[in-house]
């Protein structure tokens, strides 16, 4: 899995976490009345439109690639790669939840791809998502070798987390950021792509 095959990812997150204070304390502000369900399936024909908010889907490489092709996609798409063991990922996630709340009704699709171990799909992943009250579609990437998935996203991305990519309605990457994204910068990019004025 990602954690075992890419120790550099953990190292980057560990270094970054020493500069970032966690904003979430365990057990606080949990939406106990909002239970996240889990779908464990190959998801080889997954699409953004097929995903349901609040559901964690296990996705294989081919289904993951189909997500990125934006088949029949007519709206901008924001994709965030994260993991529960990555402190900068946890730190930025509440901001991403707010972005999803602010822009989904305006026509922005947003999916989050967890790079946690598949064993965490019923524990750490839904528990964290419950804490931050996330409602965007969530996938957990289930691959033995992460390299093909990384290359499918961006050859310049070495797999460090978090990583954020913004696609326009035609599937072209118009913004990308490796590491904790600055919310004003991301919001500015979203505003541009939503108005059709992206670079």
The CATH number linked to 111 is 3.40.30.10
**Lateral strand order in the sheet of 55-59:** 37-39, 55-59, 138-141, 109-114, 77-82, 163-167, 173-178
Structure pTM?
Answer: 0.74
Backbone angles phi, psi at 7, to 5 degrees: -60, -25
Residue 26 lies in a domain: no
Residue 27 lies in a domain: no
Residue 25 lies in a domain: no
Taking only the tens of pLDDT, the chain with its 199 residues reads 444 444 444 443 443 443 333 333 333 332 333 333 333 333 333 344 444 555 689 999 999 888 877 555 678 999 999 999 999 999 999 999 999 999 999 999 999 999 999 999 989 999 999 999 999 999 999 998 888 999 999 989 999 999 999 999 888 999 999 999 999 999 999 999 998 765 4
At 37, is the secondary structure helix, strand, or coil? strand
In the prediction, which pLDDT does 170 show? 87
In the prediction, which pLDDT does 123 show? 92
In the prediction, which pLDDT does 66 show? 86
Beta bridge partners of 137: none
Residue 74 lies in a domain: yes
Cα-based angle 193, 130, 159 (whole degrees, multiple of 5): 55
Structural domain of 190: 2-20+32-195
Residue 73 lies in a domain: yes
Residue 170 lies in a domain: yes
**Total domains present in the chain:** 1
Residue 162 lies in a domain: yes
Residue 127 lies in a domain: yes
What are the start-end ranges of the E strands in the chain? Answer: 37-39, 55-59, 77-82, 109-114, 138-141, 163-167, 173-178
In the prediction, which pLDDT does 6 show? 46
């Amino acid at each position: 899995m990602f954690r075992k095959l890419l120790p550099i990812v953990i190292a980057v997150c560990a270094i970054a976490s020493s500069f970032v204070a966690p904003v979430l304390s365990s057990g606080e502000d949990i939406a106990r009345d909002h239970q996240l369900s889990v779908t464990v399936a190959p998801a080889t024909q997954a699409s953004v439109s097929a995903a349901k908010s609040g559901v964690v889907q296990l996705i294989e490489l081919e289904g993951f690639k189909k997500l990125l092709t934006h088949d029949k996609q007519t709206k901008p798409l924001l994709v965030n790669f994260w993991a529960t063991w990555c402190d900068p990922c946890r730190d930025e996630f509440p901001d991403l939840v707010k972005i999803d709340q602010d822009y989904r009704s305006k026509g922005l699709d947003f999916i989050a791809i967890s790079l946690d171990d598949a064993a965490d799909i019923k524990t750490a992943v839904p528990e964290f998502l419950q804490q931050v009250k996330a409602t965007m579609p969530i996938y957990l990437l289930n691959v033995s070798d992460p390299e093909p998935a990384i290359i499918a996203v961006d050859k310049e991305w070495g797999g460090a987390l978090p990583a954020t990519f913004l696609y326009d309605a035609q599937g072209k990457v118009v913004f990308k950021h490796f590491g904790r994204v600055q919310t004003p910068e991301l919001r500015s990019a979203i505003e541009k792509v939503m108005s059709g004025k992206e670079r």
